[in-house]
Amino acid sequence: MLTDHFGRSIEYLRLSVTDRCDLRCAYCIPEGFKGFEEPAHWLGFDEIERLLGLFARLGLKRIRLTGGEPLLRRDITGLARRLAALPGIEDISLSTNATQLGRMAADLKAAGVSRLNVSLDSLDPATIARINGRPVLADVLAGLAAASAAGFAPIKLNMVVMEDNAREVDAMVDFCLEQGYVLRLIELMPMGDTARRMGYVDLQPIKRRLQRRFGLVDTLFPGGGPARYLGTADGRFSVGFITPLSQHFCATCNRVRLTVDGQLHLCLGQDARMDFRSLLRSGATDDDLVAAIQQAMALKPERHEFSEQPEKLLRFMSMTGG
């Protein structure tokens, strides 16, 4: 069992398989960003499998593939298959912007990916072009259709809410009700200058308004993540609220993040980390790696400080893995 200093069990790892992306979401990888990681530093599949196999021996149960855009990493289905076969791993999920999902959904399902989260901040092409930097709505909708056809259910749709798209939340609720997607509304985190400039919106008033308009009640939804859910009484629709600022969930944080270059980050909003690339590439034995994993757990901070120190973090989300 992996446990940190605050008694939290760590059973969930988000693996960033690339820090590249085909979108330029203004709050994540702004247009013109050049600080991508050298390919020579990317962990190879053998390195990832070895390290996560050791994590699994210590109690890791769930892995989410993310990025950057994970579907841009060559042979991502091959990696998913290898990770799904690790003893102890019960669940492989994937976060994607869905631009490539149309041609990959069926292979991902066959490789053992069991759950999909798709990012979609708007249904309006003009808003998408402004926030996400590319005109991708048609590709994303095709990707969603392919995911349903491949048997992914439920599909969760992630919408980051900010000043630009806050008025579109109800339209997104209507769309998800109609299509049967689980909606998750996410508060903007102040990661990097451009994210700070996008205009944070507190989700609590939106939550109360949706509760009234759609007659929603508190709902439990499986997933193990930080979202708190409301749903219709007939169970037909659920909406999750991920509120790192207005109501943070650090006390129940069960996750760590491994970047494409092998840095294990213990908190999305703090600098604490352990360099596993150097260990893997300097002849560390399995026992050395197990000891390093256990030492890393002791570095996990109690909580992020997005509200107290919004200027603190220079890392964009794409660099850590969302």
Please give the residue ranges that form the binding site for ligand SAM (CB under 6 A).
21, 27-28, 66-67, 69, 95-97, 119, 158, 160, 186, 188-189, 191, 195, 317-318, 322
Angstrom distance (rounded) from CA 192 to CA 94:
24
- Distance of closest approach, residue 64 Cβ to ligand SAM, in angstroms: 9
The Cα angle at residue 172 between residues 71 and 108, in degrees rounded to 5: 20
Residue closer to ligand SAM by CB (options 97, 254) is 97
Min dist. Cβ of residue 119 to ligand SAM (A): 3
Q: Nearer Cβ to ligand SAM, position 46 or 75?
A: 75
3-class DSSP state of 161: strand
Pairing of strands 228-231, 238-242: antiparallel
CB of 209 to ligand SAM, least distance (A): 21
**Residue closer to ligand SAM, measured from CB, 62 or 280:** 62
Residue closer to ligand SAM by CB (options 129, 284) is: 129
Least spacing, CB of residue 195 vs ligand SAM, in Å: 4
- Running DSSP on this structure, what letter comes out for residue 251? G
- What are the DSSP calls for 212-224, one per residue? HHHT-EEE--SS-
Cβ of residue 115: shortest distance to ligand SAM, in angstroms? 13
Smallest gap from Cβ 265 to ligand SAM, in A, equals 13
The secondary structure element, H or E, covering residue 255 is strand 255-258
Structure tokens at 172: 């997104």
177 CB-near residues (< 8 Å, 6+ apart): 214, 236, 237
- Calpha distance 60→57 (Å, rounded): 7
- Residue 5 corresponds to which tokens in the numbers above? 């200093």
Contact between 127 and 173 under an 8 Å Cβ cutoff? The reply is no
Residue appearing with tokens 């991502």? 76
CB of 192 to ligand SAM, least distance (A): 7
Q: In the bound complex, what is the minimum distance in angstroms from residue 69's beta carbon to ligand SAM? A: 4
Q: Which is nearer to ligand SAM, 4 or 69 (CB)?
A: 69
**Is-contact 259 271, C-beta < 8 A?**
no
Q: Which is nearer to ligand SAM, 93 or 292 (CB)?
A: 93
Alpha-carbon distances of 14 from 28, 176, 218, rounded to whole Å = 17, 25, 27
Give residue number: closest CB to ligand SAM. 322
| C-beta of 96 vs 165, nearer to ligand SAM | 96
The distance of closest approach from Cβ of residue 217 to ligand SAM in the complex, given in angstroms and rounded to an integer, is 26
Q: Single out the residue of 302, 191, 190, 186 nearest to residue 247, CA to CA.
A: 186
In the bound state with ligand SAM, the residue whose beta carbon lies nearer, of 53 and 226, is: 226
Of 27 and 276, which CB lies nearer to ligand SAM in the complex structure?
27
Helix (H, G, I), strand (E, B) or coil at 9: strand
Q: What is the CA radius of gyration of the chain?
A: 19
CA 25 to chain centre: 14
